[in-house]
Structure 1
Amino acid sequence: MRDLTLLVIIGWCFLQAFRRPWVGIMCWTWLSIMNPHQLSWSLRTMPFAAAIGGATLIGLFITQDKRDYSLNRENTTLILFMVWMCITLPFSMLFAESFELWKRVMKIDLMILVAAVLLHSKRHMMLLTWILVISIGFYGVKGGAFTLATGGNYRVWGPDDTYVNGNNEIALAIVMVIPLMRFLQMQLQARWAKTAMTVCMMLMAAAALGSHSRGALLAIGAMALVLWWRGKNKFGMAIGMLVVGAALLSLMPAEWWERMNTIKTYQEDASALGRINAWWMAWNLAKANFFGGGFMIWTGSIFAIYAPDPLDPHASHSIYFMVLGEQGFIGLFLFLTLFGFVWGSAGQLRTRAANKPETQWISDLGGMLQVSLVGYAVGGAFLSLAYWDLPYNLMVLAVVGRRWLSRKAWLTERPEPVIVLPNFLQHWLKSMKRRAS
């Protein structure tokens, strides 16, 4: 029954993508972020995302849906980043392995660009946000309930064969989605809906802690600090955060506390030392190779050349050193520039649309996008999620939101047109007025 239901939903989305390609974008995002087919019994290997993506691209060119091909700083930088990855590909140290991941990254980035072309309305932005929240919230809420039921003695893991299958990866995804849940809560009117969203956010936080991810703990702390700093009632917010934090932390077992304490004593932790070794390897490799090493360089043969400890090969566990090692210093510059622009655009939404009833919702969105980006910047420093879809979907929301706000300002702030009549008509109207009086 589960497989049949999934087939019906995806089949409907496939047909709709030809007529309304923005529907294809929503379905693509759902499949890429949530990977619902991984929860089925017999559909795990089906190329659903490829089918939906192909139908969306066809619909992009054969339908009359509104499209915006204008270039902005975000999509221009993303295009340059994609071009640079194409340039570095032939110089990959492990070309066969690198080529496979390169194809996957190009597909993701292409669909992100298509999303920025097709999406344009408040409805689109709200739907995309709901899809991101539901896709990760499904695992987060379930993981939070599991954490509470087991007292945090077992780790929360993500779905198999996905970008977020590990405990650290799903933790970062959960952390990044919590601010989007808060944004949606701010738009809800019904009291029960607001309460339900509060419960979901608390379960998401519990799941992030239940993953036993140290990076997630730091990311939650950084996001909480930003929310507190921007809040109006700082004292009340501080008390509320302390109460909720103390309640969740009190559930964590001794094993969890021991693992978190290694943040302060990282010199004695083998996992932390392995990451530092990988970071030095990426730095040394990038210095010696202008084009970087290409994708999938985290192997023993490459560590033997560039790592301080050649006998301890380790995944990058950092979005920054991952891009540095794989794409070189230019690739890292483009990556940081891209998300710097996204931060700036989200900030423009937050400030320009504030305190206006018709645009307050997009100000809320901009503020929560920035909080989510803080979680990605801090948590991503310890995780290999540089090419995953979710951060780039935040870029889409920021870009589409800024376009929407610009159109709104033009419609509401442009002056009334002044009509200048010819002289003979002006004299005729004056004479008509005198006769009437």
Structure 2
Amino acid sequence: MLRSLWLLFLYTSFLGLGVNAPFVATLGYVWVDTFQPQAISYIILNQLPVAMIMGAAAFGLYLLLDRRSPPRLSLETILQVAMGIWVTLTIIWAAVPDAAWEKWDWAFKTVMFAAFLPYVIRSRVQIEAFAQTYVFSLAANFVPFGLKTLISGGGYGSNLGLQAGNSGLAEGGLLSTVGLMAVPLAIYLGSHSQLMPRLKLMPLAYWAIAGLAVVTAIGTFERSALIGLVVLFAYMWMRSRHKLRLGVVGCLGACLLVYSTSSAWDARIETIGHFENENSAYVRILVWKWTLGYVAEHPFGGGFQAYLTDHIEVPGVDNEPGFTEFGRAFHSIYFEVLGEQGYPGLLMFLALAGVTFVRLHRAAKRAREDPELRWVVALSDALQAGLAVFLTSGAFVGIAFQPMFWYFISMGISLNAYMWRVEHSPSSPVVGWRATATSPSTEAISPPSAGGWRSRPAIPFVKVAAPKR
């Protein structure tokens, strides 16, 4: 009962604060979309369309109060909108129309809301608030899972987090992937946060969150998590200025992992090298082979949930008879997009990831020249590391239209738009969410705002001579 009342208070707080600061309502939608309070509430919230209400508030408040200094139209945004249009068109020739509409209902909203986010998230504080909201919404799921894993050792298919079942963040493949993607973001917040109190132990709290995310990934017993963990460490090591220190931490962590993991975890991970003797892994390969044959005949894909039409002939192994399996999921972001959206959808998906990597790298390169923009470099590296995890772990999990990929893309767009404003504004970077425009002369000139939702009158800048001593 108390938990339900607390969740109701948080929900109404997002709505109430959003009236005064519209971007807060957008953060509220991110919280609802990620944390899903309606799934663990016993009263009121579980009876309301909480996501629809918060989403309508986010769009409505932006249109009424916040239509200022929109970012330049970027290639990433064009690709996001194009993907939203394309997934809608594929419904026309969907192989399983009813199931396709069911997935379209949430996938389309994810893609289009992600395209909308950079119009609201503009300043440094807003970007950080978005990252904080997303990390803590995810942490509510993987922190209890990680703590219970330290006690019980975890297990494949175990529900140790907030949610039960085998969907959403209760599914091990998705939970382990988003947990690892949150690691570099949490480390960034621990070092560069402006919203949290500057206490000596605050960075340790974020490192603890990152550590529990790693423990959660291991505790799910997902083989994709191990691959993502290796890629995460390798990418962070390459981008780090303290390679020796990070290398020592990584080696110690690997030794601790080998020492502490159970025989059940070891046995499951060993199947990576012997996939032909493990039905789950081998059937996935057969599904991918079926998908390639399917798109050869249907180059525009079969619409959402097209996998429901597959039939996989699994040959017998070690004197065991073969069998036929119907409706086996793609278990890969690449084959999921290819089978459902065809070659045009896969091309847009890969282009979106590639363009984002290039733009983030360029933004970090330009920001290194200014000590005040070190946070841009750090956030760029964190986003690149998270996307690298998604693109590798996701090769074995069908999560292409889950929010984390699209939210990371949107944060990258917001970061690049911020850099553009800084470089094209005659004033110094604005760090607050309410921008005060300044001019280098006594005549007030209003440059493009770097953030905020209400503009203040320009304040002329007057040079004051230093006192003589």
Structure 2 CA distance for partners of 1:152 and 1:288, relative to 1, 3 Å? same
| Runs of 4 or more above 6 Å deviation | 413-417
Q: Distance in 1 between matches of 2:69 and 2:101?
A: 31
Select the residue among 297, 303, 310 that pairs with 2:310: 303
Structure 2 CA distance for partners of 1:355 and 1:242, relative to 1, 3 Å? farther
Q: Distance in 2 between matches of 1:107 and 1:126?
A: 23
Select the residue among 337, 353, 362 that pairs with 1:339: 353
The share of aligned pairs that are identical, in percent, is 22
Structure 2 CA distance for partners of 1:143 and 1:82, relative to 1, 3 Å? same
Partner of residue 218, structure 1: 227
Deviations 1:306-352 (A, max 9, x none): x5558223211110000000000111001111111111222123221
Which structure has greater helix proportion?
A: 1
Q: Looking at CA atoms only, which structure, 1 or 2, has the larger radius of gyration?
A: 1
Select the residue among 303, 312, 317 that pairs with 1:294: 303
Partner of residue 59, structure 1: 61
Q: Is the 8 A contact 2:66 2:120 kept in 1?
A: no
Q: Distance in 2 between matches of 1:67 and 1:109?
A: 22
Partner of residue 12, structure 1: 13
Structure 2 CA distance for partners of 1:160 and 1:342, relative to 1, 3 Å? farther
Alignment-mate amino acid for residue 167 of structure 1: G
Partner of residue 447, structure 2: none
Q: Does residue 185 of structure 1 match 2:206?
A: no
Select the residue among 172, 175, 180 that pairs with 1:167: 172
Q: Does residue 317 of structure 1 match 2:316?
A: no
SS in 2 for 1:359: helix
Point out the more displaced range, 278-287 or 172-181: 278-287
SS in 2 for 1:40: coil
Deviations 1:231-289 (A, max 9, x none): 23333322211102222332211000000011111111111011112211221111111
Structure 2 CA distance for partners of 1:123 and 1:416, relative to 1, 3 Å? closer
Q: Distance in 2 between matches of 1:126 and 1:391?
A: 17
Partner of residue 425, structure 1: none
C-alpha displacement of 1:151 = 3.0
Q: Distance in 2 between matches of 1:35 and 1:353?
A: 36
What's the TM-score, normalizing by structure 1? 0.89
Structure 2 CA distance for partners of 1:316 and 1:153, relative to 1, 3 Å? closer
Select the residue among 249, 252, 258 that pairs with 2:261: 252
Select the residue among 384, 400, 403 that pairs with 2:417: 403
Structure 2 CA distance for partners of 1:290 and 1:262, relative to 1, 3 Å? same
Partner of residue 106, structure 1: 108
What's the TM-score, normalizing by structure 2? 0.83
Q: Does residue 196 of structure 1 match 2:197?
A: no
Q: Distance in 2 between matches of 1:114 and 1:99?
A: 22
Deviations 1:77-128 (A, max 9, x none): 1111111112211100111110121121122222212212111100110001
SS in 2 for 1:315: coil
Q: Distance in 2 between matches of 1:108 and 1:195?
A: 32
Partner of residue 363, structure 1: 377
Please give the root-mean-square deviation of Cα atoms over the aligned residues, in Å. 2.3
SS in 2 for 1:312: strand
SS in 1 for 2:400: coil
Alignment-mate amino acid for residue 109 of structure 2: K
Q: Distance in 1 between matches of 2:77 and 2:8?
A: 33
Partner of residue 40, structure 2: 39
C-alpha displacement of 1:153 = 5.1
C-alpha displacement of 1:376 = 0.3
How many residues matched? Answer: 415
Deviations 1:46-77 (A, max 9, x none): 31010011122221222245351631110001
Q: Does residue 49 of structure 1 match 2:51?
A: yes
Q: Distance in 1 between matches of 2:92 and 2:66?
A: 39
Partner of residue 73, structure 1: 75
Point out the more displaced range, 151-160 or 379-388: 151-160
Structure 2 CA distance for partners of 1:260 and 1:412, relative to 1, 3 Å? farther
Select the residue among 177, 181, 196 that pairs with 1:176: 181
Point out the more displaced range, 284-293 or 126-135: 284-293
Q: Is the 8 A contact 1:153 1:253 kept in 2?
A: no
Select the residue among 136, 139, 159 that pairs with 2:138: 136
Q: Distance in 2 between matches of 1:262 and 1:45?
A: 44
* Unpaired segments ≥5 residues, structure 2: 315-322, 429-438, 444-469
